[in-house]
Amino acid sequence: MLFSLLIAPAAAEAALPPSNPGTPPMSDSPWSLLPAASANAEALDTLYIFFWILCGIAFVGMIGVQAYFMWKYKKPAEGHAKTSPLTHNGKLEFIWSAIPTFFFVILFAWGEIEFMKQATPPPDAMDVRVTGQKWSWTIEYPEVKGCSLTNDLYVPVGKPMRLTMTSVDVIHSFYLPAFRLKKDVVPGRYTVLWFEATKPGLYPLMCTEYCGDEHSSMVGRVHVVAAEEYDAVLAKACELKQGDTESAEDFGARVVVRGGCASCHTTDGTVKTGPSFKGLFGRTETLADGSTVTIDENYIRESILEPNAKIVSGFSPQMPSFAGRFDDKQIAALIAYIKAQK
């Protein structure tokens, strides 16, 4: 944490793929608690501080008494110290067992209550689907038809939100530090998180399970907005239409950002998980079975909708399908964008 803050922000930025503007800093100072932006975070911070003070008191008490006894019962300069005839003290032993036990029970009950609250989403919570894949988060809002964002979670203040999460490839871990929440995202099953945001702002979102080469670029943003602005802000964020004066290529660039394509595809010729878009269009490639294919509109379209249909030799089947996420116009713009990367 401290270390990451010491690295110049510019250096951290450069390492991120261009389609991902990265994640806001965890906190302003390495000494302060992380910003707390949910009811859960505030409750856990109170518990944490209570625990911290308790440990502090116990530490000072024990080390203090030890130091005092070391001084008081040190070996005298001359003669021999007499060994105490006492073998035990029932009352004292009871007290030093009972007091810690009392505090342990408080900690257990308090922690258990908070854990149960966190484990049971309220029935009126708003649903959002989260899908982890190498190496981005797809966040879908069933309330807005066809809305699927990459690495951007929009949250209203004061309304409970439930995330139903899964993965299409390996285990990822969805982490919202400002909400003090983290849960594994596992292929083949759903895991659930819920929270109620309390403070508007921009907060980090990240993957905390090493999931491959670009694990560290699996970061995003949580936009907490006022409840009355939420619908408008979300609708605007979800909209993905070509502007009146926008070229197909420019629109395609926005589609690339929305899809998180740049975590695997560069435009400068560097080959990452997938081929670079540079000079891709019109090339002839060899597939794993030895047959050849020309990278044309049809091949690109098929590769977006059914990425595993024809994989060029040397690449592995890692790309998630974008069927249902991009419509025909968006795919056409994406093709125009790829064509333009000469």
- State the residues that interact with ligand CUA by CB under 6 A: 132, 172, 207, 209-211, 215, 218
Nearer to ligand CUA, 213 or 296 (CB): 213
Smallest separation, CB 197 to ligand CUA (Å) = 23
Smallest separation, CB 244 to ligand CUA (Å) = 38
Burial track 49-59 (b if 16+ CB lie within 10 A, e otherwise): eeeeeeeeeee
CA distance 36 to 190: 26
Nearer to ligand CUA, 189 or 283 (CB): 189
Smallest separation, CB 135 to ligand CUA (Å) = 6
Nearer to ligand CUA, 131 or 341 (CB): 131
DSSP symbols for 262-305: GGT--SSS---SS--STT-TT-EEEBTTS-EEE--HHHHHHHHH
Nearer to ligand CUA, 16 or 125 (CB): 16
Peptide bond into 96 cis (omega under 30): no
Nearer to ligand CUA, 137 or 154 (CB): 137
Partnered with residue 147 across adjacent β-strands are 141
Nearer to ligand CUA, 125 or 168 (CB): 168
CB 66 within 8 A of CB 59: no
Cα→Cα distances 103→13, 99, 276, Å = 45, 7, 59
State the helix-helix crossing angle for 297-305 and 328-340, rounded to 10 degrees.
120
Nearer to ligand CUA, 218 or 253 (CB): 218
Nearer to ligand CUA, 182 or 215 (CB): 215
Smallest separation, CB 212 to ligand CUA (Å) = 7
CA distance 84 to 305: 83
Nearer to ligand CUA, 153 or 218 (CB): 218
Smallest separation, CB 33 to ligand CUA (Å) = 24
Smallest separation, CB 211 to ligand CUA (Å) = 3
CA dihedral 69, 70, 71, 76 (to 10 degrees): 110
Please give the angle made by the CA atoms of 302, 304 and 306, to the nearest 5 degrees: 60
DSSP 216: G
CB 320 within 8 A of CB 168: yes
Smallest separation, CB 318 to ligand CUA (Å) = 12
Tokens of 62: 């024990």
Smallest separation, CB 207 to ligand CUA (Å) = 3
CA distance 320 to 303: 10
Smallest separation, CB 218 to ligand CUA (Å) = 4
CA distance 50 to 46: 6
Helix segments in the chain, DSSP class H: 2-6, 9-15, 39-72, 90-119, 227-238, 248-259, 297-305, 328-340
